[in-house]
A and B are shown apart, each in its own frame.
Chain A
Amino acid sequence: MAFVNLQNVTYQYPLTKTPALQNINLQVDEGEFVAVVGPNGAGKSTLCYALAGFVPHFFKGEISGTIEVAGKESSKSTLDEWVLNVGLAFQNPFNQISGAKYTVFEEIAFGLENIGVPREEMKSRVEDAMALTGIRDLADRSPYSLSGGQQQRVALTSILVMRPRLLVLDEPTSQMDPIGTREVFGTIRKMAEDGMTVVLVEHKMEWIAQFADRVVALKDGSILLEGKPGEVLTSDLLAENGFGSSRYTSTAREAKKRGLWRKENLPVTLDEAVEGFALTLPFSSPKGAPRGRGESGK
């Protein structure tokens, strides 16, 4: 049976009139890296909260269907037990700083102190986690003195250090530059290859295409489409439903209308776009040769 198993999950926040999640069926295998995309208000964050146990344990409200992770059922568990298996990091890094600690090292150790990890093991786990996300040099800084991107790395590390079996991330790199994003995605990818299951909400389609195994597209609380990143992210259904797409996809989609894109699939990443356009544009340089602006202009 799948490691993560959502069966007919419908959920409604208290004091609201429409369900935030409607009849969600989702299975994720152990070690799989699944990305979730969708427009604002599609229920992406709610899905994250449902996986991480906060829906319904924290938010109350009405839920039906079953949520299972690692063979345990959410409704039969308590939140404090659930978070031992499922880690959650979300977008706003400032609100994820516990406030109870003065240095980044202590901040990352906070979760381990709470769940009672012995001191020596705690220290080595914090060291390892910081090395993994590349923030060793921040160890003695105050979490409040960091940039947004650095704080996001600290937030991610603070969850990774707890070694969850399922990692739920809600736009964890929104304040990072492209280099930082690539590094963090590389780390997450590696964690997945080592057996950690990852569910990630993300807007940056190019990164999803490069790193995720599967994409789930949410719209109005339901799953609209799911499948391989290359297929889902370029599908016309998504474009028609107000999903954002990568600039390479939209460019190629326009190009296709004018007959300038001959491949069957649209690209998501820069490399795919270059490869595709190389087939149609007469002046483009052959594959492998340097692609400079000066050259293509000649």
Chain B
Amino acid sequence: MLEKIKNNFNTQTWVLIPIAIAINIAIGQIVVLLKLPVYLDSIGTVLVAALCGPWAGALTGSLSNIIWGLAVDPNALPWWPVAAMIGYMAGRMAQWGFFKEWWKVVVTGFVVAITAAIVSTPIAVYLYGGITASGSSFITAYLMQTGTGMVQAVLSTGFLVEPVDKITTAMLAFAIVLGLPKRMVGGYPKASQVEVSSGANQTQLYIAIGVVVLLVLFAAFMLRNILGG
């Protein structure tokens, strides 16, 4: 176990993590300022997870969240286990070979999203009684007011909101890996996990973007149904 954790960390990992955290926070803030309908605050976390492994990903997620909480938005602090699980899960998916082609990366994003939704549920329920300081709590509130149980309401909200964000995040992280010179990737502990197979072509990218657009439309449709019904 300890050996498995240790093999995520070489000097390049330790140097990458602070940069990844800064990428998380800087892009997260740009996204907030641009009023984009996503968070995109874990691109760096997914990048570390893919290149170095699940434990390095989990550490990056936790530290990002704590620093974001102390420097940007205090309401983020209680959510660090979610950030840690995002990193861990992304690392596991990469380990299972799901970080080599666009469609696999979409699957990774989806699995990470579901994980995030599940992990955040107990925090939302026990710490906040279901209603957090996030805008998406509007949906939860509506579901609860119309008679849905708290846990189901929180989970449904998570399933609705997370996939678009996490799939986009995973795809951007993958785009970064593709964009880096191969020589720059080789030094990380799990470089072989991101050795891109032949399928990382344009067609796949378009299909992946199509999936994201469909998800956005689906989420919008559900939202309208919820709010309109």
Residues of A within 8 A of B (CB): 13-16, 58-60, 99
- Contacting A58 at CB < 8 Å: which of B18, B182, B183, B187? B187
What distance in Å separates the Cβ of A227 from its nearest Cβ neighbour in chain B?
34
* Residues of B near any A CB (own CB < 8 A): 18, 182-183, 186-187
B183 in contact with A14 (CB, 8 Å) = yes
B156 to chain A, nearest CB (A): 43
In the complex, which residue of chain A has the Cβ closest to the Cβ of B14?
A100
How far, in angstroms, from A59 to B182 measured CA to CA in the complex? 13
Closest CB in chain B relative to A11 CB, distance in Å: 14
CB-based closest 10 A-B pairs:
A15-B182, A14-B186, A15-B183, A99-B18, A15-B186, A13-B183, A60-B186, A14-B183, A58-B187, A59-B187
Q: How far is the CB of B37 from chain A (nearest CB, A)?
A: 34
Q: How far is the CA of A16 from the CA of B183 in the complex (A)?
A: 9
User: What is the CA–CA distance of A233 and B107 in the complex, to the nearest angstrom?
Assistant: 60
Please name all residues of chain A whose beta carbon is closer than 8 Å to the beta carbon of B187 when the two chains form the complex: 58-59
- A92 shortest CB reach to chain B, Å: 14
Bound Cα distance A13, B182 (Å): 12
Complex Cα distance, B18 from A13, in Å, reads: 27
Cα separation A58 to B183 with both chains bound (whole Å)? 12
A49: shortest Cβ distance to chain B, in Å?
13
- CA–CA, A99 to B187, complex, Å? 20
| Minimum distance in angstroms from B8 CB to a CB of chain A | 18
Q: Which residues of B contact A99 (CB under 8 A)?
A: 18
Identify the closest chain A residue to B11 (Cβ): A58
Known: A14-B183, A59-B187, A60-B186. 8 other contacts (CB 8 A): A13-B183, A14-B186, A15-B182, A15-B183, A15-B186, A16-B183, A58-B187, A99-B18
**A189 and B18 alpha carbons, distance in the complex (Å):** 38
11 CB-based A-B contacts, threshold 8 Å: A13-B183, A14-B183, A14-B186, A15-B182, A15-B183, A15-B186, A16-B183, A58-B187, A59-B187, A60-B186, A99-B18
A14 CB contacts on chain B under 8 angstroms: 183, 186
- Shortest distance between the CB of B52 and any CB in chain A (Å): 16
A58 neighbours in B (Cβ, 8 Å): 187
> Which residues of the partner chain B approach A60 to less than 8 Å between Cβ atoms?
186
- Contact residues in A for B182 (Cβ distance below 8 Å): 15
- Distance in angstroms between the alpha carbons of A60 and B187 in the assembled complex: 9
Q: How distant is A119 from chain B, measured CB to nearest CB, in Å?
A: 24
Q: A247 to chain B: closest CB distance in Å?
A: 36
Taking the nearest CB of chain A, how far is it from the CB of B148, in angstroms? 48
